[in-house]
Every structure is written in C-alpha cells, then in structure tokens.
Amino acid sequence: MRIIHTSDWHLGKSLYGQKRSSEFASFLNWLAECIEQQQADALLIAGDIFDTTTPSNAALQLYYQFLCRVSLSCCQHIVIIAGNHDSPTLLNAPKEILQALNIHVVGCATADPQNEVITLRNKSNEAQLIVCATPYLRDRDIKLSSAGESIEDKDHYLQAGIIKHYQDVCKAATSRQLQLGGNIPIVAMGHLFTAGGTIGSESAVRDLYVGNLGHIPKNKLPSEVDYMALGHLHVPQTVAGSQTIRYSGSPIPLSFGEANQQKLVVVVDLEKDKTEILEVPVPIFLKLETIKGNWPQIQAQLTKLVESKSNAWLEIVYNGEHIIGDLSLRLREITKGSDLSILRVKNNKSLEQAIQSSTQEALEDLTPMEVFHRCLKAQNIPTDQRPQLIESYQLVLHEIEQLDEFAK
C-alpha cells in the first residue's frame, strides 16, 4: 500500500495582493503526475485545503478538478480532513457525492469516534488500510470554556481533550483492525501543533496558539499507528525524531519567509511490519526572493536578476546607512521592461522614518501580542502588574479566535 501525504495547500491565498492561482494549478498538475509516477494507492490531505472559510469559485474549481482527475487515476482513495483555515461545513457539504468517488472527507469531529475511522478497500473489496481521519479540533469539539478559567486551566483541558479525542479514535481503529484480521496497517491524520515543532517565520501559525495553548507533546500522540500524517506547520519535519510522525509542510512557499524551504510531499510505503518513507521535492513554480542590503548591494542583485531574465516575485529590504527618499522610483528604473515583480518594499531608512526616528513598520508586521506589549510600555504599567494582564490578554485573544471560528 503506497500513500502520498500532503497538507496546507491554502488554495486561494494571495501574496501582497497578488493572486497565486497559476502556482496552485501548477502544483496540482504536478501532484497528479506524481501520483501516477509513484503509482500511489491513496492520497491523504491533512488540512488547510483552502486559505479561507469562503474560498473563491476559482479556488473551488481547482480543488474539484483535481479531485476528479485523481479519482480517475491509479489512486483509489483520497482522504481529506479540515484544518483550522477550512470551513468544516463547506468541506462536508459535498461529502456524499465525493464518497461515491472514494473521496472521504472529515470536516468536523463528532461524538462518535467511529466517524473518523475509514477503511480503505481495493477493487476486490479487500481492506488495505485503516485511516484515523481527525480534523482540526476546536474548543467546542473538546469542551466549552467557562468564565474565570486561567490560562493554565484552559491549556490543561484543551490538551487533555485533544489527547483523549485522538486516543478514542485510535481505539476505535484498533478494534476495527482486530475485526478485519489484525494485520491491516493504521495511519492517523491530524491538524495540530505538536510541542517543539518548527514554525519558521510563520506569524499566522504563531498567533494561532497563544503561549503553549493546545501544544501536544509527542509522547501523547497515538503510538499504535504505522504512520502519522500531520498538517498545520508549513516547514516539512519529523516530530521529535520519529521518522513515522511527520508534517509534510505546505507545497509552495506561502510567504517570503518560506522561500528558502525545500517543499515536498511524503510517499509512504506500508508493508506488514515496516514503513518506508520517501520525500519527493516539489519543483519551484515561481521564485520568491528577498533582496536585502544597502543601495549598491540591492542595485547589483537586481541588475543580475534582470540580466538573467528572471520572473521572480521580490521583497526588497533596504537597510543602508543613507536615507533614500526615492527608493521605489530607483527600483522601478532598474526593473523597467523586465519580468520581475516587486511585491513589497521595506525602507528602513526613509525620510518619514528619520523624522519619526522609529523603525518603519506596518501594523500587519506586528503580532497582537507585540502590540499589547507596546501598550503596556507606553502606558508605563508597573512590571509586577504585567504578567496578570498578559495572561488575561492571551485568554481574550484565544476567545476571539474561537468565536471567529464558531462563526464559520
């Protein structure tokens, strides 16, 4: 049994206002070819299919066209779980019709763990693989928060609840394994943050779990499974050194911060007693590059890119000694007539900045917690009062996040 594990597509995401539909289409085309080349039997997508809970029709079309194409290929099954970015109901809406194509969708957790246990069968109706398909778990899937709960209480209940949910689903899977004769491999899927995970410079993920809220220690993950296909972190990685618990990461760099990561999908061969793993690198469909330095450095790098006829998308960070008021104009001059696109210019030495004598930054560059820290400083709040206020603020942030998701 050969499976391919991927996650965090974030279809529909744009970068500083630029649509990325052609990169997403290129990736899905590549993935469909990769499935054929690898002769994969199943595809597991571990959440964050879409970037928002209301994806555009163009993003939906990419998704359905891909599902249709793959369901006609050698790949007999697709299992999809919702991530925190996905709308559980949007994913679930076509559940029955997709089921007819052997595409299994789990948009939200239910009270019965059996609903998250899927048996994949071959054409002769023989069971090949059991999949524990647990979607992203929200507060309301675990327990309702009560007023006056401290961050420690909340973290404790949330963690314990998430762990128990995974254990319940795993237990249901092992009893199904017994019913089926005992030697069918089990794969678990999840969309969560394991403690110690690498998040790179993903502020979007960093903000999601304030403090350590909801971080799951590796030794609490179900150990009875042959492979665990995780989503949520965009940097591909193994969990705490275990080769069989992995994040596939996002398939294309979703921000300039991810541009230097090798993106990949994971091919997993599940035999009776051994699991073999192969990482297949995803090609770069469009280069994202950050150009940083003083003016001569930026000028030299840009000229080189123009000469090499690059069509990269660029982020320019000027941090030279001298104030440059006409940075954008100078950049336009150099790149005129080329295929380069400058998406973002950060001038650390602009005239306005010299006047304000503070670093030039936009609110979007800061996390809500950083803003709060600055508030405390600006209001001269005594240091001994700060921890209590920070804790309350973390709780409020978390409540807002959950309310936001409830509305979805």
Minimum gap (Å) between residue 48 Cβ and Mn ion: 4
Q: Cβ closer to Mn ion: 48 or 315?
A: 48
Give the helix/strand (H/E) hosting 204.
Answer: helix 203-208
Minimum gap (Å) between residue 194 Cβ and Mn ion: 13
Asked if 359 and 334 touch (Cβ cutoff 8 Å), the reply is no
**What burial class does residue 365 get, using C-beta atoms within 10 Å of its C-beta: 0-12 exposed, 13-18 middle, 19+ buried?**
exposed
CA distance linking residue 245 with residue 241, whole number of Å: 8
- DSSP helix/strand/coil, 46: strand
Token representation of residue 176? 């199904």
Asked if 1 and 270 touch (Cβ cutoff 8 Å), the reply is yes
Minimum gap (Å) between residue 202 Cβ and Mn ion: 9
% helix / strand / coil in the chain, to the nearest 5?
40, 25, 40
Minimum gap (Å) between residue 233 Cβ and Mn ion: 8
Asked if 171 and 136 touch (Cβ cutoff 8 Å), the reply is no
Minimum gap (Å) between residue 216 Cβ and Mn ion: 14
Minimum gap (Å) between residue 207 Cβ and Mn ion: 11
Q: Cβ closer to Mn ion: 77 or 232?
A: 232
Asked if 402 and 139 touch (Cβ cutoff 8 Å), the reply is yes
Q: Cβ closer to Mn ion: 114 or 201?
A: 201
Q: Cβ closer to Mn ion: 46 or 187?
A: 46
Q: Cβ closer to Mn ion: 41 or 86?
A: 86
**What burial class does residue 343 get, using C-beta atoms within 10 Å of its C-beta: 0-12 exposed, 13-18 middle, 19+ buried?**
middle
Q: CA-based Rg of the chain, rounded to a whole angstrom?
A: 23
Q: Cβ closer to Mn ion: 49 or 62?
A: 49
Relative to beta strand 264-270, strand 242-247 is unpaired
Half-sphere CA count of 350, side-chain side, radius 13 A: 15
Minimum gap (Å) between residue 191 Cβ and Mn ion: 6
CA distance linking residue 23 with residue 254, whole number of Å: 11
Q: Cβ closer to Mn ion: 221 or 270?
A: 221
**What burial class does residue 37 get, using C-beta atoms within 10 Å of its C-beta: 0-12 exposed, 13-18 middle, 19+ buried?**
exposed
Q: Cβ closer to Mn ion: 128 or 203?
A: 203
DSSP string, 383-397: GGGHHHHHHHHHHHH
CA distance linking residue 8 with residue 27, whole number of Å: 12
Angle between the 327-335 and 295-307 helix axes, to the nearest 10 degrees? 20
- DSSP helix/strand/coil, 348: coil
Angle at 286 between CA 284 and CA 292, to 5 degrees: 100
Q: Cβ closer to Mn ion: 5 or 232?
A: 232
Q: Cβ closer to Mn ion: 47 or 185?
A: 47
Minimum gap (Å) between residue 341 Cβ and Mn ion: 27
Minimum gap (Å) between residue 69 Cβ and Mn ion: 25
Minimum gap (Å) between residue 129 Cβ and Mn ion: 24
Token representation of residue 284? 């770069």
| Site for Mn ion, rule CB under 5 A | 48, 83-84, 232
